[in-house]
Amino acid sequence: MIKPKHFLKFGALLPIAFVLLSFSCSNQKQLANNTAVSENNKYVRLSIELLNAVKTGKDSDELKGEYENLHLDSLTKYLITDTHKKAFWINTYNAYIQILLAQSPEYFENRGDFFGKPQIIIAQRKLSFDDIEHGIIRGSKIKLSLGLLKNPLVGEFEKKLRTDNEDGRVHFALNCGAKSCPLVAIYDAKNFDAKIDKVAKSFLNKMSTYNKEENTVLTTPLFSWFRGDFEGKKGILKLLEQYEVISKGSEPEIKYDDYDWTLSLGNYYGE
């Protein structure tokens, strides 16, 4: 027979056991996510294949057919982390920009309509470039809110596939078809951070001019248009310093250059 005092001792151990169990589950989940990120699952590979086909001039119709026949539940299952999501959707966005504007360059004459029109079929659903960029990659940001506001009224598709955390670097990875756009690179899940840092650094050094004497920096207006994604001026300066555009601790006045919207396709990042 178990005495009452033994029940008391057992009861006192329960909270400790619960904490240990929760910690173990959390570690297992983190390990699973880390393992998943280290692998290019079939959907990340599909996006790489599509962008590679476009880059090398191969026929992409079969791959586009695969995109059309995807299923939301399967996408949700395999695009687990933000890294998976960003790699898949950035490759996809950039590939379809090249495909559609090469076929019909006149679409670029009305850019608002081009980016806002649902015309890309993914998982039996027509998406616009705005849906992919602002809804999924940027985590349901309202397009013309300077990156400051999220859209609370979104559908199940977007909720299941959007990123969870802001990453201003995506603006230096998305190519909208214009001359001032960043170069098109191919992203995977395993080396995503290293690759996007290289591309961002190259782009910002090319598009920025730092005047040390006047302590000013002229840079891309992408920073201004999406300032909330960079956490404002402080975040912009931090990024410019990180990518060695400005001197450490200089805190220059930020000025924004004009954006050249001339159509320019086939601009790929050299590996």
In a domain, 92, yes or no: yes
Q: Give Cα 209 distance to the centre of its chain.
A: 26
Torsions phi, psi of 217, nearest 5?
-135, 130
User: Quick one: pLDDT at residue 25?
Assistant: 45
Please say if the pLDDT value at position 82 is more than 60: yes
Q: What is the dihedral of CA 24, 27, 31, 34, to 10 degrees?
A: 170
Q: Is residue 53 part of a domain?
A: yes
Cα gap 89→247, rounded to integer Å:
33
Is residue 164 a contact partner of residue 150, using CB atoms and an 8 Å limit?
no
Q: Is 128 within 8 Å of 117 (Cβ atoms)? A: yes
Structure confidence at residue 171 as a pLDDT band (50, 70, 90) = very high
Provide the terminal-to-terminal Cα distance of the chain, rounded to the nearest Å. 73
- 20 has pLDDT over 50: no
**The pLDDT of residue 26:** 45
* Rounded-to-integer distance, Cα 198 and Cα 112, Å: 30
Query: Is 226 contained in some domain?
Result: no
Evaluate whether residue 146 is within a structural domain.
yes
- Identify residue 141 by its one-letter amino acid code: K
What range defines the domain where residue 161 resides?
42-177
Query: What pTM does this model have?
Result: 0.86
Assess if residue 126 is contained within a domain: yes
Number of structural domains, the chain?
1
Answer yes or no: is 271 within a domain: no
> By the 8 A CB rule, do 16 and 57 touch?
no
Domain membership of residue 8 (yes or no) is: no
Q: 211-259: per-residue pLDDT in tens?
A: 999 999 999 999 999 999 999 999 999 999 999 999 999 999 999 999 9
pLDDT in tens, 83-98: 999 999 999 999 999 9
Assess if residue 260 is contained within a domain.
no
How confident is residue 175, by pLDDT bands cut at 50, 70 and 90?
very high
